[in-house]
Amino acid sequence: METAITCAVTGAPLPTLTQAGSGSSETNVLTWTTPFQVVAGARNSAAQAPSSWAIFRSTASSPLREGIWSQSRFKIGSQHSAAYVYALYTATLMGANFAQSKLASQTFTQSKAQHFVCKVLSELTWNRTDFTGTDLLSGKLFEAAAPAKRRIYWAIPNISAESATASQCIFDAVQAFYLSHNTPRDQQIAQRLTALYRDALDEGEAIRSASIVQFKNFFLANPGLGFPRVTLSAHGALRARWIKSKGNFVAIEFTGQPEAKLIAEIQGLEPPLHVSSEPIANIVEAARALGGSFA
Amino acid sequence: MNELDPSHHIFRHVGATKMHGDFVDPEAFALRTDEDTGEVIESGLSVNWVEYFRQSSPQATVAPLRCILEKKGRTVGAKSRFALLNVGATKAAAAEYVAVSIATDDDLQDPSHAQVKGYRDYNVAVSEELAKIVVATYPAKA
């Protein structure tokens, strides 16, 4: 049985699924039984949580949705190969990236990957009884291949999820700054973030996702602050510094934790250098109370 | 381990992510810390003794120094730079908080290697001071 599927975003055909009824098939000897169904959800669906991605459900029936994914709605029966499930999962992620703008703004979080690994891949416990073929050689090959395939499946999603999360956070932040109403400053920040991200990649460094999100939220919530110098700490946290003059500055390190690091040097303070951890919500007031300026 | 002459100079390699335009983040001069505890895990700041190379200018020192660092396995990014500091000025700046030593720490691979030591307890404060006395920066890859 074949199920033809095309990606709604790219229009490219996805690999076809052929379900083999016996082990005599050349390409689909290895079949796998799963209780899961694959459902492509609509991005704007109000009924479910964010669903730009293929969602793997354990329920027998899943509502199909209208919207951007309507052309690619698909529902696969209970028997399909694990390789196909993962190929579909990956293809859907790629489709989401190609769509960019609004569609891509639905962040593919690491938790989605963890869900895939913990809930879906944990079902991959092949044994001899899963083999549906009839000849002995195919059966032995099946047994030999199964452990190797499991190892591959456990390795790949973790790698994809890490990079997708960091790059997606940068993408979301840059997009948010470009779309903000505070155009001149936020465009500068967007350009700086992009350059910094490229520099980090060149130098083999990573920017913490939590730091990016905190940085973005902070600046969008504080449109009155000036354009700072933006750098990256040794531990991957974004740092912003407003320099009034030599020996007179305010700096914030966006740790990604509820408390950010405040460093300020203000003439008149005793001692002039102040270092503390402050709740991110109060950090501007704390710095201003010291006499700091964000101009 | 010989103390460097106060009239001499040191280079500190600064990655592109620690700079924004002509601004050098003071963290480039901070000793490395443990991510979880925040405890300083480095005994001294790695720098290179400029006069060792006996070149006509600091700029001329960059190419041989870059080769040394690359042979040691260090990543020298295309946009990274070398920050030039005077030894005497560095000691004076740090002395606002603590006395530091700047001495050679050469090895076979890197005979110009030196270390700035003695400010583990004043890591943030001294690194802020050192950033203020950067004489110039030079592209690591011209």
pLDDT tens across the length of chain A (295 residues): 444 444 444 455 544 443 444 443 333 333 333 333 333 333 333 334 333 333 333 333 333 333 333 333 333 344 444 444 444 444 444 444 433 333 333 434 444 545 544 454 444 445 555 556 666 777 766 666 655 555 554 444 444 444 558 789 999 999 999 999 888 999 999 999 999 999 999 999 999 999 999 999 999 999 999 999 999 999 999 999 999 998 899 999 999 999 999 999 998 888 999 999 999 999 999 999 999 999 9
Q: What is the 3-state secondary structure (H, E, C) of A214-226?
A: HHHHHHHHCCCCC
Cβ distance A202 to B79 less than 8 Å, yes or no, reads: yes
Q: How far is CA A140 from the centre of its chain?
A: 38
Residues of A in contact with B80 (CB under 8 A): 203
Do the bridges between strand A17-18 and strand A238-245 make them parallel or antiparallel, or are there none, so unpaired? unpaired
- Across the interface, whether the CB atoms of B17 and A196 are under 8 A apart is answered yes
CB-based contact (8 Å) between A270 and chain B?
no
Distance of CA A55 to the CA centre of its chain: 14
Instruction: Determine the residue among B14, B17, B45, B130 to mutate to test chain A binding: the one whose Cβ has the most chain A Cβ atoms within 10 Å.
Output: B17
Comparing CA positions, the residue from A251, A253, A216 lying closest to residue A237 is: A253
- Asked if A203 and B20 come within 8 Å (Cβ–Cβ), the reply is no
Chain B residues touching A204 at Cβ < 8 A = 75
**What pLDDT does residue A127 have?**
54
Query: In chain A, which residue's Cα lies nearest the Cα of B76?
Result: A203
Residue A170 burial (C-beta neighbours within 10 Å; 0-12, 13-18, 19+) = buried
A247/B27 Cβ within 8 A: no
Residues within 8 A of B (CB atoms), A 201-260 only: 202-205, 229-235, 239, 241, 243, 246-247
Q: Is B9 on the interface with A (CB under 8 A)?
A: no
Q: Who among B18, B27, B75 is closest to A204 (CB)?
A: B75
Q: Are A231 and B27 within 8 A, CB to CB?
A: yes
In terms of CA atoms, which chain A residue is nearest residue B21? Answer: A229
Of chain B, the percentage scoring pLDDT greater than 90 comes to 95
How many A/B residue pairs have CB atoms within 8 Å?
Answer: 57
Give residue B16's pLDDT: 97
Q: What was the pLDDT predicted at A280?
A: 97
Contact A242, A293 (CB under 8 A): yes
Q: Among all residues of chain B, which has the CA nearest to that of A189?
A: B20
Q: Could you give the CA distance from residue A292 to residue A267 in angstroms, rounded to a whole number?
A: 10
Q: Which chain B residue has its CA at the smallest distance from A204's CA?
A: B75
DSSP structure class, residue A160: H
Place of tokens 């040394």: B68
Residues 6+ apart with CB under 8 A from B124: A263, A273, A275, B26, B30
Cβ distance of B16 and A203 shorter than 8 Å: yes
Q: Where are the alpha helices (DSSP H) in chain B?
A: 58-71, 87-94, 123-132
Decide if A202 and B78 are in contact by the 8 Å CB cutoff.
Answer: yes
**Spatial contact of B10 and B50, defined as CB atoms under 8 Å apart:** yes
Q: How many CB atoms lie within 10 A of CB B123?
A: 22
Omega of the bond prior to B111 within 30 degrees of 0, cis?
no
Q: Say if the Cβ atoms of B77 and A199 lie within 8 Å.
A: yes
Measured CA to CA, the distance from residue A271 to residue A283 in angstroms comes to 19
- Count Cβ atoms below 10 Å from residue A230 Cβ, excluding itself: 22
CB A33 within 8 A of CB A145: no
Q: Which residues of B touch A265 (CB under 8 A)?
A: 128
Query: Residue B15 — pLDDT band, cuts 50, 70, 90?
Result: very high
pLDDT at B121 over 80: yes
Where does chain A have alpha helices with state H?
82-99, 101-104, 110-115, 136-179, 183-202, 209-221, 283-290
pLDDT at A246: 87
Q: Which of A192, A200, A239 sits opposite B25 (nearest CB)?
A: A239
Asked whether B66 and B140 are in contact (CB, 8 A), the reply is yes
Amino acid in position B57: S
Tell me, what DSSP letter sits at residue A119?
I
pLDDT per position as a tens digit, B63-105: 999 999 999 999 899 999 999 999 999 999 999 999 999 999 9
CA B2 to chain A, closest CA, distance in angstroms equals 29
CA distance A262 to A205: 23
Classify each residue of A174-199 as buried b or exposed e, where b means 16 or more C-beta atoms within 10 Å of its C-beta: bbbbeebeeeebbeebbebbeebbeb
Q: What angle do CA B51, B126, A268 make, to 5 degrees?
A: 130
Please tell me which of the candidates B16, B20, B128 has its beta carbon nearest to residue A202. B16
A263 touches chain B (CB under 8 A): yes
Which residues of chain A from 148 to 207 reach within 8 Å of chain B, CB to CB?
192, 196, 199-200, 202-205
Q: Check CB contact under 8 Å for B25 and A263.
A: no
ipTM above 0.90, yes or no: yes
